A and B are shown apart, each in its own frame.
Chain A
Amino acid sequence: MARRTAIVGIGQTYHCARRDDVNGQELINEAVTRALEDAGLTMKDIDAIVIGNMDHFEAINYVDGWSVDGSGAFMRPIMKLTTGGTSGMTVATAGYYHVASGFFDVVLAIGWEMNSSSDTTAAITTCCQPLIERDFFAGAIGPLAAEYTAYIKRFGATEEDAALVSVRDHNNALNNPHAHLRTRITVEDVMKSPVLCYPIKLLDMCPRSDGACALIYACEGKAEKLAPRPAWVHTIAGSRDFVYMGEPFQHEELITLERASARAYKRAGITDPLKEIDVMELYLPASTTGVKWMESLWVCGRGEAPRLIREGVFNMDGQLPVNPSGGPLATNPIGATAMIRVGEAALQIMGKAGDRQVPNVRTALATAFGSCSWSDVTILRDTKP
């Protein structure tokens, strides 16, 4: 059986469009150094390391070996994992299993990306099967735009509903010193911003960032000593049920997120997520997904999300605050983005989220989205599982 395992340290760089003052290893080390400081540890205390990003953004093969100067992996075990947009949570999950399995007591997990190294859309387009789909795929934005057109048609949602999500996440980011985009915006600003792929406009879409995030996982017995209030991992569930972009995974709902969150709730004993979860850090790559995917998280029925959005249920002062950090709409170093969701959820549990802290968080949920519309879900609590 799994050992009880908790997150005891979180480190992030500041995130921005382009870091010229550091190379990749140095960027990674900034996050590692901060995570170690956060947990009161030094590199000597780290038993193993896991790392991940998306190879074709930087064109560095065997990143695990390359990273040594920044990750601290010299004469230690390091393993690389990558699964596209979900990479950050894939790596965080591996950090958990490294500890839960009993092989290692204290493990460092690193997600990073220097998106400024390439044209992000060109690089992401290579995720499509080259013979079948690559020439027709316009990066991550295409399917997201297409799915919201379908949702609008079915449920009468509006572009303004999505704009409300964009305003919420951007303005939440004002409270997050690490966020990339920190500008107060209005619904009107969003609606007036240039159309990228109808109905997604510039302010509806995540930016691409340079940045890194590091988490430290520790086993029961050590975690309590390292953190006054560790964020205990209760469950991690994922769904990678599809392999081609043309499969019916997200036309009206995000099936993978439905499946992953349902499995996670069952394992964590959650029956009413709207009431039982205190905060969510969601991988929302576009504001439109902040409408539609709420239904896939079972917090409301089909077509009900626009109403809850308009009522402010997911705002900082609402019943279930979503993305106090600003989420991916404010910050998106792709290989780190999903790990930042886990890290921010952990900060909320640990009570260390500063100006973006939601009061009395006991259960937090983080999601990841990527690849062939795959989803991962992590649930953290302030109590041991």
Chain B
Amino acid sequence: MAGTAGETPELIKVHSGAVEVPYDWHCGPYWSRFFRGLRDEKKIYATKCPSCGRVYIPPREVCGPCFARMDEWVEVGPEGVIEMFTVVRLPYTNPSTGEPLSVPYTDVYVRLDGADTSLMHWLDETDEKKIAVGMRVRAVFRDKRTGTMHDIEHFKLI
């Protein structure tokens, strides 16, 4: 297949180096309200569909199944149940820094009280034997909050 082209003993690889691609992600009216709730009130706000009544977290403008615009806000959590979880032991590169990420950490899907969808976050427990689907958890807020998902430090088992 290779033909006779380039019978070179050496195969070169080209490295990108650390190219940082910056983004200014706008939160828009919905997520701004959501993040302000975390930052200013330590509260988790969701949107409710006027048509089917589902409560969405993270909040958003459109209910997919109804294609309806949502403008009713409801508070959910801060407690909920574990819907799924996994303890991450596979080391990989943090795409935001290009540096190796330390493991283990626990990725948890929390069905907050009052919500119909779950929120993905961290759990402060990395021993799978101590975690089970259905366990109750509570959001732990940081003291210093800036208006991001990390205003919740993690969820803890209760």
Contacts and interface: CB of A to CB of B under 8 A. Distances in A.
Bound together: yes
Interface string A70-100: 0000000000000000000000000000000
Contacts of A149: 84-86, 133
B85 A146 contact: yes
Contacts of A33: 1
Contacts of B128: 198
Nearest to A194: B89
A119 B65 CA distance: 35
A45 interface: no
A20 B87 contact: no
A271 interface: no
Contacts of A251: 83-84
Given A21-B11, A246-B119, A248-B118, A143 B84 contact: yes
Nearest to B122: A136
A16 to B, nearest CB: 14
B88 A138 contact: yes
A137 B95 contact: no
Interface string A119-146: 1011101100111111111110111011
Contacts of B134: 153
Contact of A132 (B58, B65, B83, B132): B58
A196 to B, nearest CB: 5
A138 B118 contact: no
A17 interface: no
Contact of B1 (A30, A125, A137, A153): A30
A367 to B, nearest CB: 22
B31 A121 contact: no
A252 B16 CA distance: 41
B157 interface: no
A138 B11 contact: no
Contacts of B132: 153
Interface in B6-61: 11, 13, 16, 23, 25, 27, 31, 35, 57-58, 60
B69 interface: no
B87 A123 contact: no
B117 A248 contact: yes
Contacts of B23: 130
A146 B64 contact: no
B107 A146 contact: yes
A130 B2 CA distance: 42
B4 interface: no
B90 A121 contact: yes
Contacts of B87: 197-198
Interface string A140-176: 0111011101100100000000000000000000000
A245 to B, nearest CB: 6
A43 interface: no
B88 A197 contact: yes
B148 interface: yes
Contacts of B57: 246
Contacts of A132: 31, 58, 120, 149
A62 B14 CA distance: 19
Interface of A: 20-21, 30, 33, 59, 119, 121-123, 125-126, 129-139, 141-143, 145-147, 149-150, 153, 195-198, 241-248, 251
18 contacts: A20-B13, A21-B2, A129-B58, A131-B149, A132-B149, A133-B149, A135-B96, A136-B120, A137-B107, A137-B120, A138-B90, A142-B107, A146-B107, A149-B85, A241-B64, A244-B117, A246-B57, A248-B117
Interface of B: 1-2, 11, 13, 16, 23, 25, 27, 31, 35, 57-58, 60, 64-65, 83-90, 92-96, 105, 107, 109, 116-122, 128, 132-134, 148-150
In the A-B complex, the 7 residue pairs with the closest CB atoms:
A146-B84, A121-B92, A122-B93, A246-B118, A138-B88, A145-B86, A119-B93
Given A146-B84, A248-B83, 13 more contacts: A21-B2, A59-B16, A119-B93, A125-B92, A130-B23, A132-B149, A136-B107, A149-B84, A149-B85, A153-B132, A196-B89, A246-B120, A248-B116
